[in-house]
Amino acid sequence: MITAHHVSFAYDGTLVLDDVRVTVRPGRFVGLIGPNGSGKTTLLRTLYAALTPRAGLVSLDDAAVATLPQRELARRLAVVVQEDSTEVPLTVAETVLMGRSPHLTAFQRYSRADHRIAAAALSRVGARHLADRLFIGLSGGERQRVLIARALAQQADHLLLDEPTNHLDIRYQHEVLQLVRTLSVTTIVVLHDLNLAARYCDELVLLDHGRVRATGTPDEVLCPEVLEPVYHIGVRRVFADGDLQLLFRPLGHADDAPPGDASS
């Protein structure tokens, strides 16, 4: 379980997170949603200790993340950032093997077991055939699969992802989130696309100007009375084959239907 206890954070005196309280229970798939500048990525970065809150604390199970040695934190928590800017000419196999680094002592070399774990992680994400390719030569969807495989190789029980569907086409957006959805780990993901959040997340945390405006299931959070004051856009809910979908249009549009649900 990972928890933000009354967390606040500021950049150069500008408050970005304000008294944020979030609890993510074991095994849950939780989405952080909200408009641009709402604090989603900043909150995620405080959760994995890349940023230190100006107030409050973040705990991983019963330990404050700020007190955990980096190696131990990496063994318990894996992170997939929005962009991996590495230009080092590593193969996919070598990139995934780096996920085993937190389990090594200084100057220790990767063992056969480490190689087996990395290979199994690649197989799990359907990317074993890419093992000998250079990471920098992969497509966006392939890179995301490999980065998730590297996170899996860490064998951490918490997985944090910052906009893993960014720059991916529709097919790969769904493939990546469906893959993450099947993993038996506690997952926190920053998402912009509310329809993807509706389809894949167990719970949502809606941020607005650094504060939590709503938490709950997608059905509870993704409704017009909650979203419209935050996003300033008209929202209509549609259920197709039992799945919630959101339709958007500018507020005050002449063709706006009354807020509510519709079935098709």
The CATH code of the domain that includes 55 is: 3.40.50.300
Q: What share of the chain is helix, strand, coil (3-state, %, to 5)?
A: 35, 30, 35
Query: What is the rounded distance in angstroms from the CA atom of residue 81 to the CA atom of residue 200?
Result: 19
Sheet containing strand 261-263, edge to edge, reads 243-249, 234-240, 261-263
Residue 95, domain member (yes or no): yes
Output the pLDDT for position 208: 97
Residue 147, domain member (yes or no): yes
Domain of 92, in residue numbers: 2-250
Output the pLDDT for position 168: 82
Residue 260, domain member (yes or no): no
What's the pTM value of the predicted model, to 2 decimals? 0.88
Residue 44, domain member (yes or no): yes
Residue 66, domain member (yes or no): yes
Residue 258, domain member (yes or no): no
Q: What is the pLDDT along the chain (264 residues), one digit of tens a residue?
A: 999 999 999 998 899 999 999 999 999 999 999 999 999 999 999 999 999 999 999 999 889 998 999 888 988 999 998 665 566 789 999 999 999 999 988 788 999 999 999 999 999 888 899 999 999 999 888 888 899 899 989 998 899 999 988 878 898 889 889 988 988 899 999 999 999 999 999 999 999 999 999 999 999 999 999 999 999 999 999 998 888 999 999 987 555 555 556 554
Residue 262, domain member (yes or no): no
Query: What is the rounded distance in angstroms from the CA atom of residue 34 to the CA atom of residue 158?
Result: 22
Query: What is the rounded distance in angstroms from the CA atom of residue 218 to the CA atom of residue 244?
Result: 9
**How many domains does one find in the chain?**
1
CA dihedral 239, 243, 244, 247 (to 10 degrees): -70
